[in-house]
A and B are shown apart, each in its own frame.
Chain A
Amino acid sequence: QKEVEQNSGPLSVPEGAIASLNCTYSDRGSQSFFWYRQYSGKSPELIMFIYSNGDKEDGRFTAQLNKASQYVSLLIRDSQPSDSATYLCAVNRGSNYKLTFGKGTLLTVNP
């Protein structure tokens, strides 16, 4: 069983719509959860992190965590073409910052 699973996509949404990205993880001991955005040929950049169950909002982005279901999601409101990228979910068991990444979901926002 893969440790961090994401639908590889591509997920295609029209401009202005809500994009919903999902991630499941297998290690119940995971404590912190991260969403990164990666443009083609570039390194990842952090969008959000979440530690506690529930929702965390930052601008157009909302991360949702459900530890009981081992599920974390990222919602992007008012999607823009510039949001088109691969979104990587990453989890960390402890505080050592050794992240385990999923394969990523390719998001395409159509003008």
Chain B
Amino acid sequence: GAVVSQHPSWVICKSGTSVKIECRSLDFQATTMFWYRQFPKQSLMLMATSNEGSKATYEQGVEKDKFLINHASLTLSTLTVTSAHPEDSSFYICSARTSGRSGGGELFFGEGSRLTVL
């Protein structure tokens, strides 16, 4: 099956710093990628939809200036958590959608990136 890779898997940073997380589709082109956040024992919450070559679409309540998303190519989307604070500590997961022959496609998840802000 298709592979989606995230980097880094773990990151620990000081409060106030910015952290960039990469999401790559390794063997397919993904026009659309999704970024989720998951707090312990909670469900995955969709943060934003990342579209190649255009601005990301953010879900209600997600600060676009704090969570910067760039989808510069068909295989790479990045999420930058700016001025991170301890409450931003979470498990960030990306997913990428394959094109599919009839416009459908499948959704594959990356391995996730665990962010801890001290």
A interface list, Cβ under 8 A from B: 4, 8, 41-46, 88, 90, 95-104
- In order of increasing CB-CB distance, the 10 nearest A-B pairs are A43-B112, A101-B43, A43-B109, A103-B43, A101-B44, A43-B93, A97-B97, A97-B107, A43-B111, A44-B109
Cβ of A41: which chain B residues have Cβ within 8 Å of it?
A: 91, 112, 114
B6 (CB) vs chain A CBs: closest residue? A43
Interface size on B, residues (CB 8 A): 24
A90 to B105, CA, bound (A): 16
Question: Which residues 30-51 of B have a CB within 8 angstroms of A?
Answer: 32, 34, 41-46, 49
The distance from the CB of B12 to the nearest CB of chain A, in whole angstroms, is 15
Q: B41 contacts A103, CB within 8 Å?
A: yes
Interface string of B82-118 (1 = CB under 8 A from A): 0000000001010101000001111111111010000
